[in-house]
Amino acid sequence: MGAQFGTASYLWIVFGTIFAGAVHDFFVRALSLRNNGESLPEIIGRYLGSRTKKVACVFTVLLMILVGAVFVSGPAEPAGWYDSFCAGCVFLDGRDFLVLHFGDHASY
């Protein structure tokens, strides 16, 4: 898509995505390491409260479902029963994530 607008915009999209992704990954990993390997919702919960942690968890699950839906319908281009199977796996993965973060932590 960026190639339609010229070489400069194409290079901006490619290198901007690479460097922005690298900076994002670096800072999230550094933040996690400084907090004993906790996930982002756990860090958010500690500093901003449990309600904000729940919002962050729900937002994370929604993003995971959207990414899974893109891979199911987009590049993979599955046919027939495979569509339902992949969508079910994405749903179950998100549901397990919710149980893990909202469930009873003493039982783990």
pLDDT in tens, 9-65: 888 888 888 888 889 889 989 999 999 988 888 899 999 999 999 998 899 888 888
CA distances in angstroms from 105 to 42, 98, 99, 102, 108, listed in the order given: 12, 12, 10, 8, 6
Q: Tell whether pTM > 0.75.
A: no
d(CA 82, CA 97) in angstroms, rounded, equals 23
More confident site: 80 or 106: 80
Mean pLDDT (whole number) for 73-102: 56
Query: What is the predicted pLDDT for the residue at 90?
Result: 56
